[in-house]
Amino acid sequence: MDSPSYFWFQAISSGVLVTILIADLLLAAKRPHIPSAKESAGWVGFYAGLALVFAAVLWLLVGHIQATEFIAGWLTEYSLSIDNLFVFVLIMSRFAVPRIYQQQVLMVGIIMALVLRGLFILVGAALIEQFSWIFYLFGAFLLYTAYHQAFRTHEDEHQTESKLVQLLRKRVHVSDDFDGAKLTTVVNGRRAFTPMLVVFAAIAITDVMFAFDSIPAIFGITTDPFIVFTANLFALMGLRQLYFLLGGLLDRLEYLKYGISFILAFIGFKLITHAMHVNELPFINGGQHIEWAPNIDSITSLGVIVASIAVSAIVSVIAATSQSKKEQKR
């Protein structure tokens, strides 16, 4: 839909949403504290409710297809963002970041994620506009990512990240201790970087890896850059509060990665079938469209995504509860 009203809706809503996110992050920078579970739950609920209100407005002003695509995209990106939090928790723990400064680290991580995803969205949209065969590559990449997601551990990611962090430590002088949230400090009269720089580098590496996963995934649901952008924006909203709300509960979501893996595999398959429908590659079906390929609509996609998240979360809770009871009996 390219009507003037849709253009103004995009412009105004994007401006409002970015302002809300920036205001939230600035508030965290000015008032560093450890939010309570009640405060965190309130903010997470507020942002989830805001996403649903946005979807309702989108439905009324634009149509049910765009609204459904937004919800499916938002849930997909949100599940990937929760997986991102697993790595954030490990990074914070490994570098012993004081809890009171973790909000600021998360703030920087979210800003970097927003910028990276914004750039990837622009590049992805331009590629799709020019090359329809890019869907084959996106689909194959997501199928590979789904396999990697199901069988890798977060420690595997840390091995890659640690090598880059070790390289950084060799290049610059890093002090042993934090100096508040500062990036630099003075040690024995010599200016040095604090471990906070290394933490930010590790967070940045994580953001890049997850941006590579999330952008092809959302383009498998919709090719509307506005919906792609807003779904990612809402997925990042409340992520800081969700980190403190879940805390140690993240370890209990043991089977969430399998749900995410299934979602990525499903979207990868959907991308490939879509590529077959718009096929122009001369060495595939003589450059003709492949009409017999299944056409998966947005309602079906939403159902698969919701079911995958729900099943993996429920199984994780059941398994964690069962394990807890076994430990109590010992």
Query: What per-residue confidence (pLDDT) applies to 49?
Result: 93
For 36, phi then psi, to 5°, come to -75, 165
Predicted confidence (pLDDT) at residue 126 exceeds the cutoff of 90: no
Instruction: Calculate the average pLDDT of the chain.
Output: 80
pLDDT in tens, 41-76: 888 899 899 999 999 999 988 888 889 999 999 998
Query: What CA–CA distances, in Å, run from 199 to 26, 48, 227, 295, 312?
Result: 20, 28, 31, 44, 30
pLDDT in tens, 175-231: 777 777 777 888 777 788 887 888 888 888 778 877 877 888 888 888 888 898 889
Query: What per-residue confidence (pLDDT) applies to 236?
Result: 83
Predicted confidence (pLDDT) at residue 158 exceeds the cutoff of 60: no
Beta partners for residue 186, in sequence order:
191
Query: What per-residue confidence (pLDDT) applies to 251?
Result: 63
Predicted confidence (pLDDT) at residue 255 exceeds the cutoff of 60: yes
Query: In terms of pLDDT, which residue wins out, 28 or 16?
Result: 16
DSSP characters for 156-175? Answer: HHHHHHHHHHHHHHHHS-B-
How far apart are the two ends of the chain, measured CA to CA in Å?
A: 62
Query: What per-residue confidence (pLDDT) applies to 128?
Result: 83
Q: What is the pTM of this model?
A: 0.79
> Distance between CA 326 and CA 330 in Å, rounded?
7
> Distance between CA 55 and CA 77 in Å, rounded?
15
pLDDT in tens, 189-202: 778 888 788 888 88
> Distance between CA 292 and CA 175 in Å, rounded?
62
According to DSSP, the β-strands at 190-193 and 184-187 are: antiparallel
Predicted confidence (pLDDT) at residue 160 exceeds the cutoff of 70: no
> Distance between CA 122 and CA 102 in Å, rounded?
30
Query: What per-residue confidence (pLDDT) applies to 62?
Result: 85
Which amino acid is located at 55 in the chain?
A: A
